[in-house]
Amino acid sequence: MTKVKTAKFTVIKQHICQKIESGEWQQHAKVPSENELADQFSVSRMTARRALQELTEQGLLIRSQGSGTFVATFKSQSSLLEIRNIADEIQERGHRHHAKQLTLKAVAVNEEIAILLNLKTNSINSVSVFYSEVLHFENDQPIQLEQRFVNSDLVKNYLQQDFTQITPHEYLSSEAPLTEATHEIEAVLAQPHICQLLHIEESMPCLQVKRRTWSSKGVVSLATLTSPGNKYRLGSHLKF
């Protein structure tokens, strides 16, 4: 019986997965480049690229243009969740939405944010991104804290917006239309200051969604959305 030969790009994928599963490559560790993998496995660069791309699509790796490929946060995964504007969700239920803008400024990036936004990490000290914090309300009750880093090269007028009048999602959708997104979803105990903003006890579990979005020009934003666990669930349903 003829033995089926494993495709070369699959061999590379298995090698990378083994390194991650064994703990040799921890989250955020840099993965060998396409050229390095091509030399190591005696394959074309295209074959190595296919292996890295498929693992990126599966959420195991993060590719940063100009910086390389890195092991993703272990809880990260792609999701088919529909991305909707929270103001629209609330209004469709016949409820009132309003928002309080807590922070809107330029901030220096650390290495993790630079990787996630596909910024060149060799010039971190001279690069800043935009950062916003917006607290969303439904019928005067705080329902979600939105913390968002935005690529300042792709959305240059972000700091000039009033996010009590338009949500960041709505503005970004008009300026850099969404083409791709990934999600990381988990139950967390929020930090004390976030609990105060959401009017919940520190023992109250929260649902936290970390969302990275792309436009045709690159990664646009990295958002962390934190909601009280007793008021929010996946499926875009809020209850009081």
Does the structure show a pLDDT above 60 at 226? yes
pLDDT value of residue 121: 59
pLDDT value of residue 124: 47
Q: In terms of Cα–Cα distance, which of 144, 143, 155, 163 is closest to 211?
A: 144
pLDDT value of residue 177: 82
The β-bridge relationship of strands 237-238 and 232-233 is antiparallel
Mean pLDDT of the chain: 84
Kindly state the tokens that stand for 197.
């903003």
* 190-210 pLDDT, tens digit each: 999 999 999 999 999 999 999
Higher pLDDT, 188 or 128: 188
Does the structure show a pLDDT above 60 at 172? yes
| DSSP line for 92-108 | HTT--EEEEEEEEEEEE
Does the structure show a pLDDT above 90 at 80? no
Model-wide pTM > 0.75: no
What is the mean pLDDT of the segment spanning 110-133? Answer: 78
